[in-house]
Chain A
Amino acid sequence: MKFHERQVHPYIPNSAPATKAAMMKEIGIEDIDELYEDIPSHLRFKGEMNLPKALTSELALKRHMDGILGKNVSVDEKISFLGGGCSNHYVPAIVDEVINRSEFLTAYAGEPYEDHGRFQVLFEYQSLMAELLDFDVVNVPTYDWGQAAATSIRMAERITGRGTVLVADTISPDRLSIIRNYCHPVMQVVLVGHDNTSGQIDMGSLKGNLSGDVAALYFENPAYTGVLEENGQVIADELHANGSLMIVGLDPLSASVIKPPSQYGADIACGDIQSLGNHMHFGGTLAGFIATRDEERFVMEYPSRLFGIAKTSVEGEWGFSDVAYDRTSFGVREKGKEFVGTAAALWGISSAVYLSLLGPQGITELGQTIIQRSLYTQKRLSELKGVKLRFTSATFKECVVDFSGTGKTVVEINKLLLEKGIFGGKDLTEEMPGLPQCALYAVTEMHGQAEIDALAAALKSVLA
């Protein structure tokens, strides 16, 4: 017997034989196949999909899923120093409580009436991010930082009418690849070098690449290497004198204690909110933000939804709706700004809850404690023989640790660390030119003295 003759699946109520028969009778058919009669035989799939046997009971499904996931090892079972665009931060219980509410989890694209709460919470997300970044406009989240950076660059192309973007080569390799694909073949991507000691932008390389076709410079601060750029305002002045824009990508958590890009001349800031109250999910909870000043020439170039506050017909009642909807591809297809669709709104909600909980004092303390723990880690690691910090500049959260003087490769070191219950830093040897046997270590509020000392001790024994 076929499945649907044997079992009514819990997810498909109208499979119930009596209901199905009644509905078929009402529409005048004797077999559901009649509804497919417009699909000709040669387009029909004649075979059977070769899929695993259905696990229709929830218990069987749970066992199966637990079995597969049981092969994973979570960061709670080890000490992890992995970062590089996704990092392990504490997520307060209220965040999970809110984003797992059915109302938020299962809503989609209701009108600003029945989905008033969705509009308001994302407006509040935009508003909190605006305070963090000291910018006036922030979008409903896009896919990830890579997408946010790529879109920021295309916005700059449209604003300036120029076809080249300079990108500092201390960018994450993943994001550089995303940007190259997103810009091709419309824009040229030209890399700007960095100073080999400080890790900061090489001003000579920047000036040498400036031309009348440069729409913008995109750089990350902190860079993928964790390095903080000290010449932001000087760079901005150079760019603006050239008629170019400055786009800065950042982990927004760094703006807790580091001056945000708007305060040293940036025209657009972008980045990822995974660090603001989102679990890691194997890198699946990234969500990108784009922030600008409230100028029409910027606002009208956003492809994303922008939720705005409004009055209603009742005095004192808050309403919300879409600002400048007609710029989007929903309204005007390919004549819109890039494209828009379902992206990552729920992670905007987690970040709104998270930033609300932190408040101004909490976020400052959080930034401070991350810096303290990072400095302590750097100190402990640089005490080890043959180990040194690759760059001399101040860093936030991440730093590049150079193992090339140890006589061991990062692959070997990380394998031995894993045996000792530690996920060592990301190996940069293959992915970043000029950083052989270097690893990217990320330190957050999750790392106490015990964990950091454990790393130092493990490394000491591994390198002995």
Chain B
Amino acid sequence: MEIKKGSRLRNFHQAKWDEEVLFELHTPGERGMHIDQADAAIVDVVGDGLSSLPESLRRTAPPAFPEVGQMRITKHFLRLSQHTLGGDFNVDIGQGTCTVKYNPKINEVVARSPKAARIHPHQDESTVQGALEVIHNMDLIFREISGMDRFTLQPSSGSHAILVMASVMQKYHEVNGESHRDELITTIFSHPSDAAAAAVKGYKIITIYPDERGFPDLEALKAAVGPKMAGLFITNPEDIGIFNPRIDEFTKVVHDAGGLCGYDQANANGILGVTRAREAGFDLCFFNLHKTFGAPHGCGGPAAGAMGVVKKLEPFLPVPLVDKIDDRYTMNFDLPHTIGKTRQFWGVFPVILKSYAWIMSLGAEGLKEVSRIAVLNNNYLLKHITDIDGADSPYPGGLRRIEQVRYTWKKLFDETGIGTHDITLRMADFGFHLWSSHHPFVVPEPFTVEPTESYSKAELDEYLDGLRHVAEEARTEPETVKGAPYRSVVHQIDESWMDDPEKWAVTWRTYLKKHVNK
């Protein structure tokens, strides 16, 4: 398995500490920190405090946390960080649809500043003018990027922005006396949350599948619209990377039937300054600040969404919006048809702040260059990945791909029995991540690669070598692939505990109950 010198692949080995689960480090009497005790004068007045509580309210035994000294705790969590392959370390382009890109360090420094980190959401407006200015400016910036008329920065993520879109759409129809509109249309290559978050709001979901060229089927859409249809939530380009050139016909069909159109722009990395929600006829759209706009993903959040609407939907947005009156920024709670609050306080401020800094570094021309290079990188990979024996991109027909491509290992799988799952595990041996989740498998043995603008050609070539190497191994030494990983943190995981209620253990205490103290 040693890589011959001259290859661009690395003789990688991830850190492997065989680190204990925290609870195994328990040593009675050790302390991780001391608490600043109340001043003697306070104790003189109120005593121990606890006896003021009614007996029935008092906790009788402290939580059974492990007792561990400070250095060992530090070491424990730093080792676990080394057991995590962050985007800063690898060529993180195998997480297609998620736009994993460079997260500039300066933005972290800014966000950690006490002036950002140590402000309370209910401070007097005069003491948070800077924070309000950032939120207001982001509204203005996203109006320019999308052509929409007003943005809320309150959504906590992309999926949450979909929920907010569905809520605004529903309230709009209700105010117009059309609360009977309870069907929502989406496509199979739009994010699962376009269907799932709308369903939370009581919508019946109609899913459109692609035609033979890979476009969402316009005829199927025409058959689906009607008096019960509330609207359409759709991505473009969809997750397979193809731009739907008739998107304005889709929005027109929906509008003609009385519906609204929501544009899922969670990933807009290929089209900044090129094409916008406005020209395509959308009424609502949203962006993920932790994807296209450069904020880090934090192991799965914090995230943030910017959700925008056309003028007629502004009165329905969540409150507050941030207005600028003369030279002062102020919160506006006075929206006549507001859906209310969708998050406590004003949005995921640290993420909004980092994205604002990212946009300010690039400006309008820089944003366009982000997209142009992301698309160039993607089409460069497309050419080389489809040259790999066993890999292909479905839906041929001479169409360009925008920022990502959904590929298939179908040919390799048919010929060798090795497909996406095995290759994903083997790629980890070379310090690469290849994502496995694209359910349902409309494209067989799928994988999605999204290079963004961040990675150099040399890094893209290195990743390509990884794919080539594993595809070749699938033919020459398939057992090696099937036994992987060998040089990652752990070896093949026994998944049998995950779906069996008798065995699953979401916490250490249930592990002890089910597997140790049976």
Task: Determine if chain A interacts with chain B.
Answer: yes
The reply to whether A230 and B56 contact each other, CB–CB distance below 8 Å, is yes
Measured between alpha carbons, how far is A110 from B198 in the docked complex, in Å? 27
Contacts of A127 in B (CB 8 A): 21-23, 507-509
Which residues 425-451 of B have a CB within 8 angstroms of A? 425, 428, 431, 433, 435-437, 439-440
Contact partner, B369, options A12, A40, A145, Cβ 8 Å: A12
In Å, the complex CA distance between A199 and B352 comes to 37
Q: How far is the CA of A51 from the CA of B359 in the complex (A)?
A: 9
CB of A73 within 8 A of CB of B123, answer yes
Q: Is B5 an interface residue (CB 8 A)?
A: no
- Residues of the A chain whose Cβ atoms lie less than 8 Å from the Cβ of B65: 128, 131-132, 355-356, 358-360, 363
* Inter-subunit contact B274/A36 (CB<8 Å): yes
Q: Give the chain B neighbours of A373 by CB distance below 8 A.
A: 38, 42
Q: A210 vs B50: C-alpha distance in the bound complex, in angstroms?
A: 34
CB atoms of B505 and A50 under 8 A apart:
no
CB-contacts of A113-142 with B (<8 A): 113-118, 120-124, 126-128, 130-132, 134, 136-138, 140-141
When distances are taken between beta carbons in the complex, the residues of chain A under 8 Å from B373 are 12, 14-15, 20, 32
Give the contacting residue for A14; candidates B58, B296, B457; CB below 8 A.
Answer: B457
A72 to B420, CA, bound (A): 50
* B345 close to A174 (CB less than 8 A): yes
Alpha-carbon distance between A359 and B22 when the two chains are bound, in angstroms: 11
Check if B279 is an interface residue, CB within 8 A of chain A.
yes
> Chain B residues with Cβ under 8 A from A45's Cβ?
147, 273-276, 278-279
The answer to whether A117 and B80 touch across the interface, beta carbons within 8 angstroms, is yes
Complex alpha-carbon distance, A121 and B433, angstroms: 19
Contact A107 B279 (CB under 8 A): no
Interface members, chain A 427-441 (any B CB < 8 Å): none
For window 344-365 of chain B, which residues contact chain A by CB distance below 8 Å? 344-352, 357, 359-365
The CA-CA distance from A130 to B510 in the complex, in Å, is 9
B14 touches A114 (CB 8 A): yes
Q: How far is it, in angstroms, between the C-alpha of A199 and the C-alpha of B68 when the chains are bound?
A: 40
The reply to whether B63 and A360 form a contact with Cβ atoms under 8 Å apart is yes
Q: Is the CB of A98 within 8 A of B77?
A: yes
Q: A371-B53, A423-B120 are in contact. Are A71 and B275 (CB under 8 A)?
A: no
Q: A9-B362, A120-B19 are in contact. Are A26 and B383 (CB under 8 A)?
A: yes
Within 8 A of B (CB), among A80-96: 80, 82, 84-88, 90, 92, 94, 96
From 217 to 274 in chain A, residues with beta carbon under 8 angstroms from any chain B beta carbon are 228, 230, 255-260, 263
* Contact A363/B433 with A106-B86, A310-B495, A334-B205 known, Cβ cut-off 8 Å: no
Q: Which residue of A lies closest to B339 (CB)?
A: A181
Q: Return B185 CB to nearest CB of chain A, in Å.
A: 12
Contacts of A342 in B (CB 8 A): 157-159, 288, 290, 297, 300-301, 303
Beyond A120-B21, A341-B157, A368-B49, whether A68 also contacts B43 by CB under 8 A is: no
Is B212 positioned at the interface, with any CB of A under 8 Å from its CB?
Answer: no
Considering the complex, give the chain B residue whose CB is closest to the CB of A105: B296
Report how far A27 CA is from B171 CA in the complex, Å: 48
Of the listed stretches B26-34, B219-227, B254-262, B407-415, name the one at the interface; the rest are far from the partner chain: B26-34
Cβ < 8 Å to B, chain A residues 297-332: 299, 305-314, 316-326, 329-332
Q: Is the CB of A49 within 8 A of B243?
A: no
Q: Assess whether B299 is interfacial by the CB under 8 Å rule.
A: yes
A209 within 8 A of B: no
Which partner residue on chain B sits nearest A151 by CB separation?
A: B200
* Contact for A115 among B84, B128, B507, CB less than 8 A: B84
Which one, B33, B59, B198, B425, contacts A92 given CB within 8 A? B33
Contact A138 B506 (CB under 8 A): yes
Q: Do B163 and A339 have beta carbons less than 8 Å apart?
A: yes
Once A80-B120, A362-B32 are accepted as A-B contacts, the answer to whether A353 and B73 lie under 8 Å apart by CB is yes
Partner of B32, one of A2, A72, A359: A359
| Residues A366 and B35 in contact, CB atoms below 8 Å apart | yes
- Closest-CB distance, B270 to chain A (whole angstroms): 9
Contact B120 A359 (CB under 8 A): no
Question: Which of A90, A359, A426, A445 is in CB contact (< 8 Å) with B68?
Answer: A359
Q: Considering the chains assembled together, what is the distance between the CA atoms of A158 and B336 in angstroms?
A: 33
Tell me if B9 counts as interface (CB < 8 A to partner A). no
CA–CA, A379 to B490, complex, Å?
Answer: 56
A348 nearest in chain B by CB position: B299
B109-117, B306-314, B388-396, B467-475: which lies at the interface: B109-117
Given contacts A43-B280, A258-B57, A286-B344, contact A108 B87 (CB under 8 A): yes
Asked if A457 is an interface residue, CB under 8 A from chain B, the answer is no
> Which residues from chain A contact B63 at a C-beta distance below 8 Å?
128, 131-132, 134, 255-256, 360, 363
* Cβ contact within 8 Å between B124 and A146: no
Contact for A76 among B49, B67, B118, B351, CB less than 8 A: B118
A116 near B490: Cβ-Cβ < 8 Å: yes
> Which residues of A from 56 to 89 have beta carbons under 8 Å from B?
56, 58, 61-62, 64-66, 68-76, 78, 80, 82, 84-88
Proximity bits, B450-482, A CB within 8 Å = 1, else 0 = 000111110000000000000000000000000
Is A195 interfacial (CB-CB < 8 Å)?
no
Does A162 belong to the interface (CB within 8 Å)?
Answer: no
**Max count, chain A CB within 10 A of own CB: residue among B21, B301, B343:** B301
**Smallest Cβ-Cβ distance to B144: which chain A residue:** A49
- Chain A residues contacting B296 (CB-CB under 8 Å) are 105-106
- The CA-CA distance from A37 to B373 in the complex, in Å, is 15
State the CA gap A209–B279 with chains docked (Å): 51
Q: Please, which residue of chain B has its CB at the minimum distance from the CB of A29?
A: B379
B100 partner residues in chain A, CB cutoff 8 A: 108
B372 in contact (CB, < 8 A): yes
Q: Distance (Å) between the CB of A226 and the closest chain B CB?
A: 13
* Contact of A321 with B348 at beta-carbon distance under 8 Å, contacts A136-B506, A394-B54 already known: no
**Proximity string of chain A (1-25) to chain B, C-beta cutoff 8 Å, 1 when within and 0 when not:** 0111000010111110001101110
CB-nearest residue of chain B to A34? B400
A296 to B113, CA, bound (A): 44
A283 at the interface (CB under 8 A from B): yes
The residue on B at minimum CB distance from A452 is: B42
Q: Are B302 and A346 in contact (CB under 8 A)?
A: yes
Q: Does B334 contact A (CB under 8 A)?
A: no
* A61 with B361, Cβ < 8 A, contacts A14-B457, A108-B98, A114-B489 known: yes
**The residue from B92, B131, B170 contacting A282, defined by CB atoms under 8 A apart:** B131
In the complex, chain A residues whose CB is within 8 Å of the CB of B128: 72-73, 282
Closest A-chain residue to B266, C-beta based? A341
Query: A97 within 8 Å of B by Cβ?
Result: yes
Q: Is the CB–CB distance between B248 and A61 below 8 Å?
A: no
Interface residue? A464 (CB, 8 A):
no
Measured between C-beta atoms, what is the minimum distance from A90 to chain B in Å?
7
A336 in the interface, Cβ–Cβ < 8 Å?
yes
B2 within 8 Å of A (CB atoms) = no
Q: Does B324 contact A (CB under 8 A)?
A: no
Residue of A whose beta carbon sits closest to that of B457: A19
Give chain B nearest CB distance to A106 CB in angstroms: 4
Does B7 belong to the interface (CB within 8 Å)?
no
A73 neighbours in B (Cβ, 8 Å): 119, 123, 127-128
Pick from A14, A123, A346: contact of B456, CB below 8 A. A14
Kindly state whether residue B253 has any CB partner on chain A within 8 Å: no
Q: Shortest CB–CB separation between residue A266 and chain B, in angstroms?
A: 14
Q: Contact between B119 and A280 (Cβ–Cβ < 8 Å)?
A: yes
- Which residues of the other chain, B, contact A260 by a CB distance below 8 angstroms? 59
Instruction: Collect the chain B residues with CB atoms within 8 Å of residue A369's CB.
Output: 35-38, 49
Q: A68-B134, A282-B128, A317-B18 are in contact. Are A448 and B39 (CB under 8 A)?
A: yes
A338 interface residue, CB < 8 Å from B? yes
- For residue A212, CB closer than 8 A to chain B, the reply is no
Q: Which 8 residue pairs across A and B have the least CB separation, nearest first?
A: A54-B363, A283-B345, A117-B83, A3-B365, A283-B121, A284-B349, A329-B196, A341-B159
Sample 20 A-B pairs with CB under 8 A, ordered by A number: A4-B372, A11-B453, A14-B373, A24-B376, A27-B376, A48-B273, A50-B144, A64-B360, A98-B74, A98-B77, A103-B85, A105-B296, A127-B507, A127-B508, A136-B507, A137-B507, A263-B59, A280-B119, A314-B490, A343-B303
